[in-house]
Structures are given as C-alpha cells and as structure tokens.
Structure 1
C-alpha cells in the first residue's frame, strides 16, 4: 500500500516549506524552520521502526516522500536526505539481522541530527578508501584527523557518520566506519557559497582528532570493495534517496511548465501556448522522460526493502538509477525554462532556482564515468589486463 503523504508531509507543512525556499536560497542560510517543523512532525524518524518510536516506513515510502519534499524545496530535501541515509542504513542492517546501528534509530527519535561525512576532495575511491586518518586508541576508540567536504546539515548536525583509514598496521590497513559527536575537535567552516542547493549548507568539516567512542565504531573493513552490509546499505540508500530528490525537482519543473503553457498567450495566434503544437511536443517529451523515474525509484527501493538479491548487478543498477534521475531532471528543467520563456531567467522565478539546484546532481557519487564503467563491466566483463 502506498504511503499516505498527508500523514507524514501534510499539505500545509509543504506549503510553508515552499514559501520559505526562495528566501533560504537568496540569503544563503540553513532552513532551520523547515528542519524544526519536519522534526516536530516526526519526519526525521520515518525509517525508524514503530516499536522504537518511529513511523516504521520502508525505503520505498521514504523515496516517495522525498520526491514530494523536493518538489517544494530541493535544498531542504537534499539536506534531510543525508540524515535519512544513516537511518536508512540502520534499517537495511536491521532488516538483515544486524542491530549495530540501533543507536542511530534511537538517536533519531530522541532528536539527534546525523550528518554524512564520507566525501573527501579528490578521493574517487569514495567508500573504498579514505584520506582521513583513523588512529586507534587503547580503549577501542578512534581519533579521526582529516577533512570532509560537502557535509550537509553543517550548522546543525549533532552526530557525524564518517570513515577513515587505520594504517597503524601497514600489513593490515582497515577502513573504519564510526560516528563522532560535535566537539571542539571538529571545525565546521562557513564556506558554503555555491551556485545552487544553498540551503543544504554542506560545509567543509575539519577533524582534528575527533574521537569516536568504542560503542560508536561500527566497522573495520579491508580497503577496497567489500560485501559487507554496511557498504551495500550506504550505497543503496544514498543513491536511491538522491535519485528521489532530483526526480522531485523534475516533477516541479514539469508542473511549472504546464502552468506556464496554460497561462501564456501567443500574440501571433491569440491562443495559449498549451495549444501550440511545438510546446505540446516539448511538454510531452518532458513527461515521457520524467514518467519512468518514479517507477524505477520505487522498484529498486522496494527490492532493498524486500531483501531481493541482485548480486553483482546491485551496484551498476543503483548507480545507473542516480545517473538517470540527474540527467533526466536537468533535461526537464532545461525544457521547462524554454516553455516558460524569458521570465524564468530572473532570479525571482522559481525555475531559475531549480535550474541552479539541479546542477548539483552531477557532483554526487556516482559520477558519469564510474557509472558507465560499472555498467560496461556488468555487460561486457572486466577490462583485460
């Protein structure tokens, strides 16, 4: 049964979030009021089981809700995404009999805000390597030193889920996944002045020996690709929820284009542009491109929920989903600008903001090169040495 969006993301709440989106972007600030209202509505614990105080939704439900939220305020949706990634990973693990991230579920219900500290400048290994030093301590804790980029929720997070490399034993290096609290050893730079998605405030995070206590160290894995459930959990939830945000952006752009076509009138014909064959063809092409994505997102998300085993095809399918969503969304927003005419070029126009926001999609993993490499390997086999 489809999730009831009016319960978890009511129309009046969505309207207030949409009304604030323009000023959040113009002032380059974090949408604190959006976060406060979403938290009060229980939105940040939608993926937490009901028995722990959450809504007990599945990833497919969360993906549908994130599309709805992104249609109102893409930056708010993208920021919240990073918190939902960790609660989603906790669900993926728990569904497979692993409660090692139960503290994330309990923390989300208690009001903790979880940020995603994986991205590092120039690190195209992403989950499979790290330039952050994870130094082991005698009590089993780890001290992390390094720099993370694109840390959404920068001004407000209370727990940072991150990874680093423990190279203390050169013969047995380990990728360490853990959570550190905000502390004096963590510096959040005020450096988020970007073209779009300004409300995410995805600031650079400096770690100067930030300590994860032993009970917050959740994995020690060999570097490189691993079959561990936490790697699958991070990748699957991250890619699906990213695809959801950009699919939501596309839906809003399509709706705005339809509205513009119905209200703009041609001086030449005296009829609205909705009766112009060229405009009708353009909007039809936008709708055709968009229509496939909600179905694909729901299908792959449901497969994660239902423990479907796609084996080695999981990673190419997930990365291809994100790639499709981002490229589709950019195409739809570009076309919506043309349908809407010159008015959309002004910064006060919502499409102008969507045009800038959608560009952020190309910077999220997986990038186009790695997507095509993974899919080519799935169909053709690995490159010969």
Structure 2
C-alpha cells in the first residue's frame, strides 16, 4: 500500500495571525496610498516569496493550484497586497512551468526568489493590445549578448520595492529582426539612472499595489538574463504559455478571494442587522436570502474552475489551441463574478457600505481593477470566439 500524500494546509503558509496583521493594515495603505512594506516583510519572513520554488532550492515546492488557494486567502485579507505579490509569483510560476517541461532557463529566478529577491512584471504598455505578442519598447542588442531596453511600462506593481524586473521589448536591428526579447534587469539599473519610476499611482482602488509607471532609458539586461528571442505575434513558445497561464490563474484567484470576503461580510451583516418593521434579523428576509444565495451560486461556480485549470497547468495537460481561450475565459468569468458578488454585498450591507471607512466600500473599488488586466473583456471574447468559430475572414 502506498503512503498517503498529506493534505495541503493553507494555514501552514498563511497562518491566521499573519492574515489578521495584514488585514489590519489594508485600510491604512488604501487611505494613505502607500505600499504595504510590513506585509512584504512578514510574507518574506514566512517564506511566501518562494512558495512555488522547488524544495531542493529552498522553497516550499507548491504548484500553481496550491498557490491559487493561498492567493485567494491572501486577497481576502488585503486585495492590493495579494495583487502586488501576484506579479512576483507569476515569474516563479513561469519558472516552474518551464522546469516541469525540462526547460531550465529560469532557474536563476527560483534561486533568487529563495534568496529573498522580489520580481516585478514589466510587460504592460500604454496602447499595446498585443501584450505578449508585441512591444513598443526598443530592445537594442549589445556586443556582449545583452540588451538595452528603452521605453515605458505601465502598471508596474511593487514599483518601490522590486529588486528584479522581468520585461520584454522588440529588437528591430538584428539580422533576424524583428524579434521579441524577454529578459530581466536588476534594481542596480535604477540606481544608475537607467530606470526611472514615476510617482504617479493615485487610483480608484488597489492603491497599495503602487503599480507605478516605469521609464526605461537603456536599462541593461546581461546576456545571461536574456531568456528568449522569439518572433512577434502568437507563439507556441513555452515561455509565452507559462506567462499567460500563470498570470490568468493567479489573477482569477485574487478576484475570487475578494468575492469570498464580500460574501462572508454579507453573511455577517445579514445576521447582525435587524428589521425595524419585523424585528427579525435580515438573514430571515426573503430578499436578502435571495441576494446571498445569488452570491454563493456565483462563487461556488468559480472556485472549482480555477482549481481544475490550475491543476491542468501543473500536470502539463494538453488542451492544444484551446488553452488560451480557457485561460482568458477563466480570468474573465472570475472578475465578472467577483464584481457581481461585491455589488450584491453592497446592497445587503445597506447605506453603511457606502461610507469610506467600510471594508466593503474598499472591496467595491478594488474589484474594479480586474476589468483592466489582460485579458480584458474584449480580448477574452475575441479569443473565445476564435476558438469556437475560427479566425475572422480576411
């Protein structure tokens, strides 16, 4: 008889007292528009930056499915902290996806994460709806095999604190140009003045992420930190799949964590509020019960979807050309469902949820950010339509 595998215990990586501390700070960082430095310190001390790093390299050896559960749990305490940490976990997750396919190109990411380095995600660019398939950033080859990047990245979460920045750019001058170049630069490039972080993050929600604009002025990635040169456009390269799959699953996880917190708050509020007309708790009101049931029905549908897709990524399942529509659809459904759940929670709470000191009011603002992450609603629908109907006729 084979030995049984111990059940995954989320509290071993995110214990309740840690979540309580993180939750207690979330409103302050939202109000003051500051990065949650103490949250990061606590998570680093808990080994959270290395949850997806193999145990052989000093990490926890968790897969994407387990990291997803943890990110839902963290987002329920502090959505902005979870979303910011997402970007670091994306790169460690991509390294894991590649390693499981026998590709060791991002081993240095795993080693650095285990050593406490913090990775940020420098992909988004204003007006670039090609996302991974194109870039407005110039990637200029250097004689030593490295690249110098010049351009502007937006929504760079962890902006004040990252130590490594994964980014992409377009090489238009090499003999085989154009080529998309994926590489990593270090914080030392900022110290040398080749990376400038604007202090421009003043937003409706997700304020603690401090996802500021990043200017690249010839920021240099050493040759051993250039991890891909691939043709622009849709590409089956495992790096592209790794980025898209881990990014979409972890985004869906964060917004589903927000949905769960809103549902819990709605249940708590319904039990606490009492009708002046009947004297009964709102939990006995048929309309309130219907709203909470609607929330639970939506929430219960998303959690197993995330778990199934994440498990398929971990297992290396072959969905062929369907992969991108499955992932884009997952993220889209999770965000739309989360927003609908928070909307219902606001109605259950009544007027108290409209005040700026309300946690629900903060969740209401935070959940809106999900609409702007790739894949946005237009891109998701286009991707799914192509999967089912084929490409548009030219």
SS of the residue corresponding to residue 341 of structure 1 reads helix
Matched, 1:234 2:234: no
What residue number does 1:147 align with?
A: 152
- What is the alpha-carbon distance in structure 1 between the residues aligned to residue 34 and residue 8 of structure 2? 31
The alpha-carbon deviation at position 383 of structure 1 amounts to 1.4
What residue number does 2:34 align with?
A: 29
- What is the alpha-carbon distance in structure 1 between the residues aligned to residue 28 and residue 53 of structure 2? 32
What residue number does 2:288 align with?
A: 279
The 5 Å alignment of 1:160-309 reads: 160-169=165-174, 172-182=177-187, 183=189, 184-309=193-318
Unpaired runs of 5+ in structure 1?
A: none
- What is the alpha-carbon distance in structure 1 between the residues aligned to residue 91 and residue 250 of structure 2? 11
Unpaired runs of 5+ in structure 2?
A: 1-5
Q: 1:171 to 1:5 in 2, by over 3 A?
A: closer
The 5 Å alignment of 1:51-130 reads: 51-130=56-135
SS of the residue corresponding to residue 154 of structure 2 reads strand
The alpha-carbon deviation at position 169 of structure 1 amounts to 3.6
- TM-score normalised according to structure 1 size: 0.99
Contact 2:165–2:185 (Cα < 8 Å) also in 1: yes
Contact 1:177–1:220 (Cα < 8 Å) also in 2: yes
Contact 1:2–1:61 (Cα < 8 Å) also in 2: no
- What is the alpha-carbon distance in structure 2 between the residues aligned to residue 172 and residue 13 of structure 1? 49
SS of the residue corresponding to residue 227 of structure 1 reads coil
The alpha-carbon deviation at position 170 of structure 1 amounts to 7.2
- TM-score normalised according to structure 2 size: 0.97
Question: How many pairs are equivalent?
Answer: 385
The alpha-carbon deviation at position 294 of structure 1 amounts to 1.0
SS of the residue corresponding to residue 12 of structure 1 reads helix
Pairwise CA RMSD = 0.8
- What is the alpha-carbon distance in structure 1 between the residues aligned to residue 176 and residue 163 of structure 2? 35
Runs of 4+ in 1 over 3 A off after TM superposition: none
Contact 2:123–2:131 (Cα < 8 Å) also in 1: yes
Per-residue displacement from partner, 1:253-300 (whole Å, max 9, x unpaired)? 000000000000001111000000011011001000011111010100
Contact 2:132–2:240 (Cα < 8 Å) also in 1: yes
- What is the alpha-carbon distance in structure 1 between the residues aligned to residue 200 and residue 393 of structure 2? 43
The alpha-carbon deviation at position 2 of structure 1 amounts to 4.6
Contact 2:141–2:174 (Cα < 8 Å) also in 1: no
Per-residue displacement from partner, 1:81-106 (whole Å, max 9, x unpaired)? 00000000000000000010000000
Contact 1:5–1:65 (Cα < 8 Å) also in 2: yes
